[in-house]
């Protein structure tokens, strides 16, 4: 009879353990106990152990999903098993015979060597804990870097779009201002040359007024953009994606319609079906629409009217408007209502903290959009905001 071939005795077959310890004084005694028990075992059995201080390698504790320390983990042979808790030595005594069985089974199932194992195979067969720890750390790092890269690329794309939007928006006031200035210049040249259509002082005044107002509009746009770029999107963690604004609006309206019914308010929409997508953070934009509608319902008396409309305002922007037939907002307070904790005295008895519109403004600015209100006392309010179109 042929002798059975010998099983490999490479270190791959041995038991590999990781002991997670911490430096709390309350754990010290327990850690000593487990160390001395493991030393006893070491005298009789072959196994490998790696001791890890959790504070030094927290990502490993996270990787092994540890909830308590000290903890002893059998990482090889598989399946992985974690022992943790105050009676670690007792648990280990219980499990040790089963772990030995596991090792035996594993050794029996090893494939027969076809040739003498090289140092290379015996080395790579056993995955040292330190090595896998390093791998885990590296793959975590790669994952983090990949995510960071994706976010940065998305932000760059977003900024490109904003620059295009700004350039587009600046062009019309710039053209209007240039036209006004050129008209003044031409007519002056003509009048210097003798036979010319002269501008009356009133026309001159009208043209320079027009140029000034267009320049102010450009200045406002640039201020808005600068304010928006001051890190607000990072603060708010804006994650813009391709978004169907119309669908989002219908969803919000649906969730609020009972409140309108309770106040017998009529709720109308004017949302075209062919609106382009916007580039925006869905949850943040939802917050804006909910806040504006919540205010409209809250401040509009029973039986009033609320309307939500959308408009593809320029090639680059979509405008959303929420109109109501409430008490309106006096012109002198129209900017202040977007400040944090600002409430009209008239409304102090109503529920609220005066922070909703401030948040709306931060969100919209972080999307490089604009939010404002049109209102005259007793004529209701119209809140508008813009968002960039997705391309
Ligand atoms: P809150 O509603 O919690 O007070 P907001 O920041 O949302 O806070 O609004 C600020 C203030 O603007 C309100 O207190 C109210 O005086 C006024 N306001 C907001 N929306 C409306 C509206 N639709 N109609 C009339 N006033 C409004």
Model confidence at 12: pLDDT above 70: no
Dihedrals φ, ψ of 289, to 5°?
Answer: -65, -40
Query: CA 132, CA 123: separation in Å to the nearest integer?
Result: 13
Q: Band of the pLDDT at 315, cuts 50, 70, 90?
A: confident
More confident residue, 249 or 7: 249
Predicted pLDDT of residue 359: 86
Residue with CA closest to ligand 1 atom 8: 354
Q: How many Cβ atoms are within 10 Å of 75's Cβ, its own excluded?
A: 19
Q: By the 8 A CB rule, do 326 and 301 touch?
A: yes
Tokens of 250: 């219908």
Model confidence at 86: pLDDT above 50: yes
Query: CA 294, CA 260: separation in Å to the nearest integer?
Result: 10
Q: What is the mean pLDDT of residues 285-290?
A: 93
- The finding on whether 359 has its CB within 6 A of some atom of ligand 1 is no
Predicted pLDDT of residue 309: 97
Q: Which residues neighbour 147 within 8 Å (Cβ) at sequence distance 6 or greater? A: none
Q: What is the mean pLDDT of residues 317-325?
A: 96
Q: How many Cβ atoms are within 10 Å of 346's Cβ, its own excluded?
A: 12
Predicted pLDDT of residue 120: 40
- The finding on whether 337 has its CB within 6 A of some atom of ligand 1 is yes
Q: How many Cβ atoms are within 10 Å of 236's Cβ, its own excluded?
A: 17
CA dihedral 287, 275, 155, 355 (to 10 degrees): -20
Domains defined along the chain, listed by start: 15-112 (3.40.30.10), 146-236 (1.10.287.130), 241-388 (3.30.565.10)
Residue with CA closest to ligand 1 atom 1: 354
Q: Tell me: the pLDDT tens digits for 177-214?
A: 999 999 888 887 766 665 556 778 888 899 999 899 88
Q: What is the mean pLDDT of residues 85-90?
A: 88
Q: What is the pTM of this model?
A: 0.54
Q: Tell me: the pLDDT tens digits for 348-374?
A: 888 777 888 988 998 998 888 999 999
Residue with CA closest to ligand 1 atom 23: 296
Mean pLDDT, the chain, rounded, equals: 83
Q: What is the mean pLDDT of residues 82-108?
A: 91
- The finding on whether 382 has its CB within 6 A of some atom of ligand 1 is no
């Amino acid at each position: 009879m042929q002798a059975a071939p010998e099983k490999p005795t490479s270190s791959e077959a041995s038991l590999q353990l990781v002991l997670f310890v911490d430096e709390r004084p309350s754990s010290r005694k327990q850690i000593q106990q487990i160390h001395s028990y493991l030393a006893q075992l070491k005298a009789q059995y072959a196994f490998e152990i790696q001791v890890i201080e959790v504070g030094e390698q927290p990502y490993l504790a996270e990787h092994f999903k540890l909830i308590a320390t000290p903890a002893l983990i059998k990482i090889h042979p598989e399946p992985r098993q974690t022992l943790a808790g105050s009676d670690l030595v007792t648990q280990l005594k219980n499990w040790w015979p089963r772990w030995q069985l596991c090792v035996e089974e594993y050794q029996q199932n090893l494939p027969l060597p076809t040739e003498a194992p090289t140092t290379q195979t015996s080395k790579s067969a056993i995955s040292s804990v330190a090595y896998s720890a390093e791998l885990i750390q590296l793959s975590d790092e790669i994952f983090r870097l990949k995510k960071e890269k994706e976010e940065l690329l998305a932000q760059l794309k977003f900024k490109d779009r904003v620059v295009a939007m700004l350039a587009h928006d600046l062009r019309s006031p710039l053209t209007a201002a240039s036209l006004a200035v050129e008209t003044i210049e031409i007519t002056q040249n003509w009048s210097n040359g003798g036979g010319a259509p002269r501008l009356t002082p009133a026309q001159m005044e009208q043209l320079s007024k027009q140029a000034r107002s267009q320049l102010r509009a450009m200045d406002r746009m640039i201020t808005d953009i600068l304010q928006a770029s001051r890190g607000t999107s990072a603060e708010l963690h804006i994650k813009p994606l391709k978004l169907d604004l119309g669908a989002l609006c219908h969803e919000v309206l649906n969730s609020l319609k009972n409140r309108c019914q309770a106040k017998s308010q009529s709720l109308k929409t004017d949302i075209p079906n062919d609106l382009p997508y916007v580039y925006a953070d869905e949850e943040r934009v939802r917050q804006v629409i909910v806040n504006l509608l919540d205010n409209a319902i809250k401040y509009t008396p029973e039986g009033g009217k609320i309307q939500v409309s959308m408009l593809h305002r320029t090639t680059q922007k979509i405008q959303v408007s929420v109109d109501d037939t409430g008490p309106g907002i006096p012109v002198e307070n129209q900017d202040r209502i977007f400040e944090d904790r600002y409430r009209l005295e008239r409304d102090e008895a109503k529920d609220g903290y005066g922070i909703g519109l401030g948040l709306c403004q931060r969100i919209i600015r972080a999307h490089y959009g604009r939010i404002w209100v049109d209102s005259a006392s007793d004529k209701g309010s119209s809140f508008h905001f813009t968002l960039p179109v997705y391309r």
